Structure 1
Amino acid sequence: MVTHQVEIERKYDVSGTKKPKLKLHKLEHFTVGDPVEHEMSATYYDTADLLLSRAKVAVRRRTGGGDDGWHVKYEAGRARGELHHEPLKTAPTRLPAALRKVLLGLTLGEELSPVATVDTHRTLHPVLSEGQQYAELCLDAVTARDERAGVTRAWTECEVELTRDDLTEKQSRAVFEAVEKVLFAAGAAPSSSVAKIARALGQDGGDTVRVVSPADAPGNDAAGSGAADTASDTSGTGAAADAGDGRGTPEGADPKGSTSKGTKKDKGKKKHKGAAAAGPGQDRNPSAPKTPKKSTDHAGRSAAQDRESEGERDGNAPVAGKDRGPAREKPAERTGADVLSLMITRLTDQLQRWDFAVRIGAEDSVHQMRVRSRALRSVLQASRGFLADETVVDMEQRLKDLARVLGDARDQEVALERLDVLLEGQPSGVLSAAAKADLKEAARHLGTDTGRAVRRELDSAPYLQLLRDLRALGRGEGFTEETARVSAKKFSKAVLGAALNRVLVTATTTLPAAGEDVELSQMAADVGERISLPGKDPRQTAAAFDVLHETRKAAKSARYVCEALTAAHARPGKKRTRAAVVAKDYQDDLGVITDAAVMEEWLARAARSFQRTGKDRYAVGVLHGMELTELRNGMLESAEILEDLVEDLKDALPSRD
């Protein structure tokens, strides 16, 4: 059986090899119970490419302590937590099928193998107040072996974890502050580690981690006195390699390794201004002034360096290649292929992370996964000409099918949210408590059905193959030769320009003449049947709805493309970026109308359901009438909204490059 637990904890580093002397009797407002000793061992598992680590998920099999079994630690959206599963009686070292299924969207069926073994001697102190336990203070002496690199590391750390979920924010803060005061007095400091697994793999730790063996491992000094462990992930796919884009916090921890506010930076360590401004993993602004290199102490320079400088000052520059080292190569200019590859890879990573969040039922996960599927489709649509035609057509359709399944579930979420607002807005006594309860129950029932459909889709072979194909596309498979020839700047202008042009074309679509046959979506056809607009027949009304609905989707696509380019550090130009912001502003206005259509359709279905079951349809009728009015008023304003959108977009876009 899988159980879920949300963690609230803070971690602290302890320097040196000796156990710190904690004066726990000085804990203010709390007492400490008798300590309990535990010997624990945890084996961490991942794929060959550390796909779980990159997704901020850690899988371990722990023995010893009070939570023996399988753990999946994660960060999903704003939530951090753990999934627990008892070991299988017949095969305790085999990952249970329930957890394997939860991880399927991340691992894509790849085998998990041990990447690190972490042995911990834990001293656990219960933190008490008035006879009740509020938290646990754990002092851990850790020895960890990187199974891939064959390196063993050791360190000491403390962890404070709340053990009650009913504490107020003020009570929680009081616990942490009281314990921290004692820890800081003993020389502890807020942890710099994202997780034990990261330190085990040499991805963080600084001077708090000692390399135990082998003696010649990176970070071990000649005397073996515990120099800083600076070993990095040699595969380039772990947390250290991915720090620039927010990936690779293996146990779902935030970058500071705790839920507390940020820790103070080390004093006296100055950073290069350019690097600090750009941030990790970002391109430094090329227009920013270069910071001159600091002069080197003359005593630290070689005689050859002095002679070289003197010769240059005298105008007698040395012959290239004779006295100088090899000339530094100018970094190659980024191409469209570089940008497109990064855009697709990042969005696919995010899609897979939200897949995991959907599987564990995290809040807002269906919506966020749908957004990523649409963003990927938007990037492919805008990149026509830079991708093989058959690739675009195939991928677009498969992403559209995925978005449709997610969209049905999302529409039910929107309906439930909007239903709550509508019910709360009714005057007292208009709707009975029983009628309100029936409506909410109907919404929950439909949501359950669409949720099952989503889970079936995520477990399907075609969906998993889609993820594999997206990863291959992110590696450049399916790119045209032009993509590698064009510069990153020209590529960025082209794809965002294409996305914005689609908004203009869609918004100016001519409505059909009266009686003219035209292809319509089912939602639009329903709108045409239920409301009437002056001077328009039902098919023209439906076509008008399709235009505004498609325009809204085009505006969203432009926003997604602009955001993907920005995340890839590409520059499509200030005016195009501004135009994308304009499109986003109108997206919200159009969304009010489409949300009303979604709610109106849901209420119509609820009315049919209530009729079959004999339930009171009065409440449904009242709310349905309100939504029909909202929808009709929005449709009456839609033509003016689209005209303003087109005018503002044309004003924002550059007249020429």
Structure 2
Amino acid sequence: MAIEIEDKFDVPAEFAVPDLNDVQGCAEVAQPLSHRLVALYFDTADLRLASRGITLRRRRGGDDDGWHLKLPKAKGARQEITLPLTRGAKVVPPELADLVLAYTRGAPLAPVAQLETRRGVTRLLGDGGDLLVEVADDRVKGTVFGEEPTVRRWREVEAELKDGDEGMLKRVGKRLRKAGASPAGSASKLARLLGDIPARQVAEPPAGSAGAVVLGYLRKQVDALTAQDPRVRRAEEDAVHQARVASRRLRSALKAFKSLVTDTDDLQQELRWLGEVLGEARDLEVIRERFSGRLDGLGPSLVVGPVRRRLGDDLLAREHDAYGRIRQALSGDRYFALLDGLDRLVANPPLTPLAGKDAAKTLEKIADKGWKGVADTYDGARRIDDAEQREIAMHDVRKAAKRARYTAEAVGLPEAAKRAATVQEVLGRHQDGVVAQEVLAQEAEAARQADEDTFTYGVLVGLERADAERAHEEFPGVWATLA
């Protein structure tokens, strides 16, 4: 996987790449290279990938033969995943086909276009001969497949950052513009070849209305969820966590804003299912890292027996199994139906008349209601005499605080969000300690059955209990300050 940072330019047929020897930071311009590249692009019949800014191609020629999957651009960079060339030219490798399932949703992938490029390459080198920036001057012939194939020809220039800094990339771009280049009108060659892809028609509530704010937030979370999908399938760092957060935010928003957006009970239920699917691996990851830190903090004499294996390797194996179940769920019809439902929701939301009201007044009332829910839940918990039942009720306080935080963030009330986050954090430390004790009890029993020493498990339970009790004792004072 690579992160690609580049600037694209449209140029006239007579354009000449300027002399770049004196660009600040460049020690030498290497001898030019030339390549002939042939790229076959794959998509669904209705161009689901192209409409999302995704390209999937098989390219021959140059120094990067192979399959290339480019995911949507974010913060100036695109994530590119590459695989070696396969024998079959018209069958997408399963690994790449899986990574775009959130967009294709099971629809078949087939060749939709071909680009033949004659490329001249100018390479800017540093003092040590390292490649800083590469400038590609491309003469392109593009063919769109169909009953009557269409052909287009054009020329463009691309400056790609290699081992240089972004300041140097800007200086190169400035020199190219001075020579007659202009910022590209299309994000990619494929987009230029295919032309305007019909955008999906979406409803737009009046600007400044409560519905406009809520819909903007929902769309942001749907985009975040689908953007994390390929990363989750590759088990990239923090991907499962971010995907679960997006699903939780969506579910929380649909519940909090039910007076503005109606008929979302089924979607809420399916988002809860997705959160549970993602949660197993995430919870194992968190608890494994927690125990690793605990063990590292103990003296060697306190770590007895194969406790690191049980709390490390064994939990990691369970985590890998959980990832397998995630991939299976993300490749199934239930997940695709959920994504279809979310797309329909943000394209044409079932808004109530209240959604047309002024955003500030309407949404602040909803956020206040969310905080009142936290206070009411805590008041109820304090009235419970049974310790075990009160513990369950305090967990409900934490969940109410999380919903209140998400609601406040959605409507742009940072102070309210911070207040709810404080409640969530303190009660979260208590809950994490309780859960950790339960896992330790299970692992200690397994160790006991295997005739292993369980002393260290007892030490860890003591630490977790102390942390949980400390958070429990802190909370009334924290609440008094917040309330």
Give the TM-score normalised by the residue count of structure 2.
Answer: 0.81
Structure 2 counterpart of 1:561, which letter?
T
Residue type of the alignment partner of 1:605:
Q
Match of 2:198 in 1: 235
Alignment-mate amino acid for residue 619 of structure 1: T
Q: State the shift of 1:24 in Å.
A: 5.4
SS at match of 1:509: helix
Q: Secondary structure at the match of 1:595?
A: helix
Counterpart pick for 1:364 among 238, 258, 274: 238
Match of 2:445 among 601, 604, 608: 608
Aligned 1:61-72 pairs, distance under 5 A:
61-72=58-69
The structure, 1 or 2, with the larger RCO (C-alpha pairs under 8 Å, 6+ apart) is: 2
Equivalent of residue 389 in structure 2, options 543, 546, 550: 543
With 176-185 and 599-608 compared, the bigger mean Cα shift is at 176-185
Partner of residue 506 from structure 1, selected from 374, 377, 380: 377
Q: Are residues 196 and 187 of structure 1, via their aligned partners in 2, closer, same or farther at CA, if it must alter by over 3 Å? A: closer
Q: Is the 8 A contact 1:382 1:499 kept in 2?
A: yes
Alignment deviations for residues 518-575 of structure 1 (CA, whole Å, 9 cap, x no partner): xxxxxxxxxxxxxxxxxxxxxx333232233222222221222233334xxxxxxxxx
Q: 1:129 to 1:233 in 2, by over 3 A?
A: closer
The letter of the residue matching 2:157 is T
Partners in 2 of 1:13 and 1:119 — Cα distance? 18
Residues 221 and 246, structure 2, Cα contact 8 Å, conserved in 1: yes
Kept after mapping to 1: 8 A contact 2:134/2:162? yes
1: CA distance, partners of 2:388 / 2:24: 70
Partner of 1:598: 435
Provide the residue aligned with 2:353 in structure 1.
482
**CA distance, structure 2, for counterparts of residue 179 and residue 383 of structure 1:** 45
Matched ranges for 1:148-547 at <5 A: 153-162=154-163, 173=165, 197-198=187-188, 201=191, 233=196, 235-236=198-199, 335-388=209-262, 391-427=263-299, 429-431=301-303, 435-436=307-308, 439-476=311-348, 479=350, 481-483=352-354, 486-489=357-360, 491-510=362-381, 540-547=386-393
User: 2:39 and 2:419 mapped to 1: Cα distance?
Assistant: 52
Contact 1:442 1:606 in 2 (8 A): no
| Cα distance in 1 between the residues matched to 2:79 and 2:223 | 20
User: Which residue pairs with 1:83 in the alignment?
Assistant: 81
Corresponding residue of 1:108: 105
Distance change >3 Å, CA 33–CA 564, structure 1 → 2:
same
Bigger Rg, structure 1 or 2: 1
- CA–CA distance in 2 between the matches of 1:354 and 1:69? 24
Deviations 1:170-229 (A, max 9, x none): xx55xx88898788767779x986997446535xxxxxxxxxx9xxxxxxxxxxxxxxxx
Q: Does 1:73 align with 2:70?
A: yes
Residue number in structure 2 paired with 1:589 = 426
Q: Given the alignment, which residue of 462, 470, 473 partners 1:625? A: 462
Shift in Å, 1:495 = 3.4
Q: Return the match for 2:91 from 84, 94, 100.
A: 94
Shift in Å, 1:604: 2.4
1:553 matched residue in structure 2: 399
Aligned partner letter, 2:158: E
Rounded Cα–Cα distance in structure 2 between residues aligned with 1:109 and 1:134? 41
Identify unmatched segments of 5+ residues in structure 2: none
Q: Within 1, Cα distance between the matches of 2:444 and 2:182?
A: 57
In 2 relative to 1, CA 345–128 (structure 1 residues): closer, same or farther, beyond 3 Å? closer
**Match of 1:578, SS?**
helix
CA distance 1:409–1:179, change in 2 (3 Å): closer
- Greater share of helix residues, 1 or 2? 2
The 3 A distance-change label for structure 1 pair 607 and 51 is farther
- Tell me the percent identity: 27
Q: Which runs of 5+ in 1 are unaligned?
A: 163-171, 203-212, 214-230, 242-280, 282-330, 515-539, 567-575, 648-657
Separation in structure 1 between the aligned mates of residue 226 and residue 247 of structure 2, nearest angstrom: 10
Distance 1:110 1:589, change over 3 A: same
Deviations 1:586-640 (A, max 9, x none): 2222222222223223322332333344444333332222112211232233344
Q: Secondary structure at the match of 2:71?
A: strand
How far the C-alpha of 1:441 sits from its partner, in A, is 1.6
Provide Cα deviations, 1:314-364, integer angstroms capped at 9, x if missing partner.
xxxxxxxxxxxxxxxxx9566554444433333222211112221122221
Deviations 1:250-301 (A, max 9, x none): xxxxxxxxxxxxxxxxxxxxxxxxxxxxxxx9xxxxxxxxxxxxxxxxxxxx
Cα shift at 1:418: 1.9
Q: Are 1:335 and 1:483, in contact at CA under 8 Å, matched by a contact in 2?
A: no
1:625 and 1:96, CA in 2 relative to 1: closer, same or farther beyond 3 A?
same
Query: Residue type matched to 2:436 in 1?
Result: M
> Which residue identity does 1:544 align to in structure 2?
R
Residue 140 of structure 2 aligns to a residue whose secondary structure is: strand
Structure 2 distance, partners of 1:192, 1:615, is 70
Equivalent pairs counted in the alignment come to 476
Query: Which residue identity is paired with 1:101?
Result: D
Counterpart CA distance in 2 for 1:182 and 1:494 is 52
Instruction: Name the Cα RMSD after superposition.
Output: 4.2
Letter in 2 for 1:122: R
**Structure 2 letter corresponding to 1:470:** L
What is the letter of the counterpart of residue 2 of structure 2?
V
Match of 1:143 among 140, 143, 150: 140
Aligned equivalents of 1:443 and 1:121: distance in 2? 52
Counterparts in 2 of 1:509 and 1:183: CA distance versus 1, 3 Å? closer
Structure 1 residue 456: Cα displacement = 2.0
